[in-house]
Amino acid sequence: MADRISRRSGVTILLAFAFLFAFSSAAEADDSEVSWSKSGLGVWRYDADAGVWVDAPGAVAEDPNVYRFEYLCLDTAKNNFDVACLAGAVRCDQGRDGRPVRWYTSLRVFDPPIWSAIRPDRCVYLEQPEDVLGKIAAQIQTKFEQLPVSPGTSVMQPSPNTLRGAETNFYAEAVEQSFAIDMLGQSVSVTAKPVQYTWNYGDGTSLGPQTAAGGPLPQDRWGEKTITSHVYAQTGDFPVVLTTHFQGTYSVNGGPPLPIPGQGQFSSPAQRVSVWRSITRNYADTCLQNPQGQGCPGVAAPPP
């Protein structure tokens, strides 16, 4: 099949299909990093006129530009490719029989066209290249769940101790986070956004998942019921765990953001909550009136 490309040597192939990112002028494309994506992954299509697979999207009628590509490292004398030149050119290893090319663009209104080079150089293939984007999409959920996402923090009011039978206000503090990772040799950017929260209060009860993160109360309002508050029925120490549910998006090689289908769940370390009880007693006299009364200085408190 390599002979098929060789027989096309010296032929400049005109193609009139659009980039995902159109150019406003030919000058803007000259020797720049303009491209439909940095690697073209995921947009492979077969061009019947050229007889090769090209990494460009389908035609858009409103595109003001026309495009062509030329083979690089083509030895016209031998009607074949220069092996030494290919070693220093862009690597075309995403499929079989890949060959490096350089794309050019011109405004459609120019006659004859005024061509400007588009960088970086790219590849064409005789057979459909590997669907790297598809493989990344199949693995992105697992990768997302393995990222070192910082879980949300659970804040308690009052803290670090609370009272049995009283409303204890809990709320979550979580932030959006970004990560740059490598997947299958491609640069992938991942964004994790907190969207839901689940509290395990440590006493056998839980709340969530819910979208409300709750919020702080002024100190003079502690004890009020909130959408995330909890009442402990027993005294003791309880481990409270907050699980933050993150929704993610990812982009490959600077391409558009794509949704990660499932959520990632990340739990905070257990936070110990001490639940106390309060005792109320009524006394007829003050300590000034009865210095020997219960609770007065120097008088032992009654047993609980």
Q: How confident is the model over 168-210, as pLDDT tens digits?
A: 999 999 999 999 998 887 889 999 999 999 999 999 999 999 9
31 sits in the region (left: phi over 0; alpha: psi -120 to 50; else beta) called left
Q: What angle do CA 58, 59, 60 make, to 5 degrees?
A: 120
Give φ, ψ of 259 to 5 degrees.
-75, 140
Name the 3-class secondary structure at 90. Answer: coil
The mean pLDDT value for 3-28 works out to 34
Residue 17 confidence class, pLDDT cut points 50, 70, 90: very low
Over 50: is that where the pLDDT of 252 sits? Answer: yes
- Residue among 228, 162, 165, 235 at smallest CA distance from 199: 228
**pTM of the complete model:** 0.59
Q: What residue segments make up the domains of the chain, in order of their start?
A: 2-125, 132-276
Domain at 132-276, CATH from 3.30.590.10, 3.40.50.1980, 1.20.140.10, 2.60.40.10: 2.60.40.10
Bigger pLDDT: 260 or 28?
260
